[in-house]
Homo-oligomer: A and B are copies of this chain.
Amino acid sequence: MTMADFDLTQLPTRSPADCHKEATVRQTKKIRQELIELQDRLYAENRRSVLIILQGMDASGKDGLIRRVFSGINPQGVRVHSFKEPTEGELAHDFLWRIHQQTPARGMIQVFNRSQYEDVLITRVEHLIDDAEAQRRFEAINNFEQLLQEAGTTVLKFYLHVSEKEQRERLEERVTDPAKQWKYEAGDERKANQWPAYRDVYEDVFRHCSPESCPWHIVPADQNWYKAHVVAKTLRDALVAMDLQYPASKVKRWEDR
């Protein structure tokens, strides 16, 4: 499937049939152990960084995913930033101004819970920007991610792909499940009817902002255990590919004196 005829409804929202839950969960646990060591190397090396961008429709499980994947990792080397509705001060600048401030320093893993992509998603669904402005922003986002990559940041972009049916059920649970009622927000019913509108604007993002050098990963997200597995594995593979090395000791060994 090329990006031009990109169709989100053709992509799975659930694990492949031959994927067994228990074995996969065990594997994810093993991967998390690897992540702990890889993050330690990244931090020690202090030369490069990782930016993880998490996007997904409401109730696609971004918060749960962050907990599942990153809980075991040294919090000194991982920072999570959740982008909310922009403040008045943030709106007084270009849309990447507040984003740029949160990019990772060398040695760090930064997680964006929502990101610059909201500025070409909700803004389009709510008709706050027109198509021409969206095109300008796509280009600006591509340039911005290229800048980060050139400065040594590995950028990993994940779309948590939840089905319309699963989203509707999860939004309903926020009304009926006492443990989830705190998540309920006015407008959740409306959101449940916006799946097709968000599908359209997400597809446009994948068409324009998924260059080979910085592709989107579309993650089947109806099952929490599978989603966590895919993200953890993708992150592990990216860190392994970086060939992270502990730097040489600054302390001279006895025999070197």
Contact = CB atoms under 8 A, between A and B. Distances in A.
B140 A147 contact: yes
Contacts of A95: 151
B92 A147 contact: no
A46 to B, nearest CB: 8
Nearest to A107: B92
A146 B140 CA distance: 8
A224 to B, nearest CB: 33
Interface stretch (A33-41, A97-105, A206-214, A247-255): A97-105
**Interface size class for chain A?**
20 to 34
A143 interface: yes
A106 interface: yes
Interface of A: 89, 92-97, 100-101, 103, 105-107, 136, 140, 143-144, 146-148, 150-151, 153
Contacts of A144: 143, 147
A147 B89 contact: no
B100 A148 contact: no
B151 A143 contact: no
Contact of A103 (B89, B94, B146, B150): B94
Q: Which 3 A/B pairs are nearest by Cβ-Cβ distance? A: A94-B151, A92-B105, A143-B143
Nearest to A90: B105
